[in-house]
Amino acid sequence: MAEDAVFRVAGLRKSFGPNQVLGGVDLDLHSGEVVVLMGANGAGKSTLVKIVSGVYRRDGGQMMLAGFDYRPESPAEAMRAGVVTVHQNINDGVVASLDVATNLTLDRLNGAGAPLFLNPRRIRREARAVAERMGLHMSLDAAIPDLSLADRQMVAIARAMAHEPKVLILDEPTSSLSSAEANRLFALIDRLRERGVAILYISHRMSDIRRLADRIVSLRDGQIAGVFADRPLDYEAAVNAMLGQAMGRRTIEPRTATGTVFSAENLKLAEGARPFSLSLGDGEVVAVTGLVGVGKTALAETLFGARRPLGGSMTLKGSVYAPASPGEAIAGGAFLVAKDRSENGIVSDFNVYENMSLPFLRRLSTFGVSRRRAERALARRQIAELGIVCRSERDDMTTLSGGNQQKVMVARWMAQGASLFMLDEPFQGVDIAARHDIAAKLRASAAGRATLIFVTELDEALETADRILVMSEHTIVGEHVNAGIDMDRLLAEVAGQPVRGAA
């Protein structure tokens, strides 16, 4: 092992009953290096992270930290040793009942050497120092539930940074961040790299990987399938090693809509925003893209009845459409796969078929009594059609990988016929293979409805949609048929920059 190797995993094994999840993983993390870990959903990434961070105990193998045996009994013990993890689920990194200041200093207040009596001034002073180092621009008195998803993510990351870790593990950290926030995180990672912190960065986002990776490690079926360190890094080979097969970029043959399903005239989403019009056709898949915070989620919530527009009118299937609530939207045939599956989608106490049938229990009931056989049959069909990896429809949701949980959320709304089917960041936290599965199913089943997906990553729009709409400042600023797209123009619109040659 090289002298600057801070952390080493050798022959790590873990099984749950007869299911072997890790089958002898070897991994070194060196001082000042960012190692990107790629793996398909179910490859064992989460299990590896939970062992390293003290959530699970390993069944075999060895871990070494700074040359010494490392076997944490809890996440708190791992943090005290200098191994800090920011999990993909933001709620694991913040305490919703506390304000920002207390969250940023919570571990110091509870750890070894914590003061006997709380000093509010000291808490705020230390919290302010952490916030300044991270470049956080929010009130320290703000309650966590009042923050946006991106701000909560930044608080979770800042809380982790307060430990000044030797090893930092980041699991899909930019999934809810705007471009500016992501750049702030990247700058921080660069500073940590200069200070010698070893960083394990779990992501499938090529923009993140190209920006940060010193080395790429591909994990498949609980084993290391490839290590890529030679410059330039071979991203395609890393993806192929992760999947066990070549996965080329999907190309779309854009369809022409056969009729208008949904239309909006002079829709206004926010004060000062320019009104816009929108038309969606039968059988087409339309992507709305743009940076985080430009209005994509606001548009999704408006179409789903979760918020009211400030102006304009809408029609659905030729009738006036003005839902006052999500319940009215669902009754009218407009469905939404919400952005954050952990907060807005999954009911962790329910199993797979119960999660799928949840919004439609009235349709699947007789005289108010749920028809379990019908629910399970419906779930089995969706499991087969979307390729959801589980033992049966009775499995607990918490036993599924992130990608398969996302497929359940998509399947929930696809199980019933929609006129307008909307998905807000449907590929968030899923690997490339799962993304292709979901996109293929959306396109194959598109007839008879209008499908609208809201995505930040351009690759996801290009690989899924017939048309691409660009949002900036809560309005539509560009429209592109997905064939021979002028990428310079598209990127300028996404960035909110003046488009050369535009009137």
Is 145 contained in some domain? yes
- Domain range for residue 184? 1-82+165-248
Ranges of residues in the chain whose predicted pLDDT is under 50: 1-2, 114-116, 367-369, 503
Domain match, 31 and 104 both: no
Amino acid at 271: E
Question: Of the candidates 109, 134, 162, which is a domain's last residue?
Answer: 162
Residue 503: what pLDDT? 44
Q: What's the pLDDT tens digit per position in 374-399?
A: 778 777 887 777 777 777 787 877 77
Domain match, 286 and 414 both: yes
Domain match, 349 and 229 both: no
Residue 371: what pLDDT? 64
Domain match, 138 and 173 both: no
Find the Cα–Cα–Cα–Cα dihedral 90, 93, 94, 100, rounded to 10°: -100
Residue 302: what pLDDT? 95
Under DSSP, the state recorded for 99 is B
Is 387 contained in some domain? yes
Is 114 contained in some domain? yes
How many domains does the structure of the chain reveal? Answer: 3
End-to-end CA distance of the chain: 60
Domain match, 104 and 77 both: no
Domain match, 223 and 77 both: yes
Residue 250: what pLDDT? 61
Question: Of the candidates 248, 282, 315, which is a domain's last residue?
Answer: 248
Strand order in the sheet with 5-16: 19-30, 5-16, 60-65, 68-69
Between CA 202 and CA 49 the distance in angstroms is: 10
Residue 2: what pLDDT? 46
Domain match, 470 and 342 both: yes
Neighbouring residues of 126: CB distance < 8 A, sequence distance ≥ 6: 104, 105, 108
Question: Of the candidates 162, 177, 210, which is a domain's last residue?
Answer: 162
Is 88 contained in some domain? no
Q: Which of 105, 81, 85, 82 is nearest to 93 (CA)?
A: 85
Between CA 52 and CA 66 the distance in angstroms is: 14
Is 361 contained in some domain? yes
Domain match, 334 and 419 both: yes
Domain match, 294 and 414 both: yes
Phi, psi of 493 (to 5 degrees): -65, -45
Q: Which CATH number characterizes residue 35's domain? A: 3.40.50.300
Report the SS3 class of residue 40: coil
Report whether 419 contacts 334 (CB < 8 A): yes
Composition of the chain by helix, strand, coil, percent to 5: 35, 25, 40
Is 211 contained in some domain? yes
Percent of the chain with pLDDT over 90: 30
Domain match, 148 and 178 both: no
Is 41 contained in some domain? yes
Is 204 contained in some domain? yes
Under DSSP, the state recorded for 385 is H
Report whether 25 contacts 219 (CB < 8 A): yes
Domain match, 153 and 182 both: no
Domain match, 387 and 459 both: yes
